[in-house]
Chain A
């Protein structure tokens, strides 16, 4: 069975601080996908990144970066120089990649990030 754990329920930082959101996952599959989504107060889940299990290269997109470590089953997300607009709930999710079956996303419980001035 798949499981995603986001141990940090809530994080508060002051603007311009760096912040890392942790994600640990469990799966028996060798092929799977990992995702991060942002959920602002409006409710819509905003896609941030998708990474497959064979690609452990870290990725950077502007102020966002992701660190995928298969050895520790972790897929952590770092925001550099945080801004107030980054305030939201962030979800890590896992999808097994069996061809032809439903791409069910298993979500963690989310980390609420509050960035203040």
Chain B
């Protein structure tokens, strides 16, 4: 059974770079049928898509975050990663990794999420 697990620091200082990794287990990240994405949710607020990556390295980013976001993939480790630069308190959120279809962008599998707090 395929599972996703986020990992990374739970506390990041303002102006620094947030870095998270999502490990895919029970299946291959190199499937031709799926993209792998990051979504975040500030406390008490709604879902915000950050971006998605295909195993080949092709990416889509949320235009509102594009200047600060880099998503990469490491197929040898079955992982994909998120880097968000120049963070502020507004970037405090639960960050989820998830899988969505290549043909239809529906998120059918999610990680449990990890809370990242931006604070000095």
Asked if A and B bind, the verdict is no
B residues at A contact (CB < 8 Å): none
> Which residues of A are interface residues toward B (Cβ below 8 A)?
none
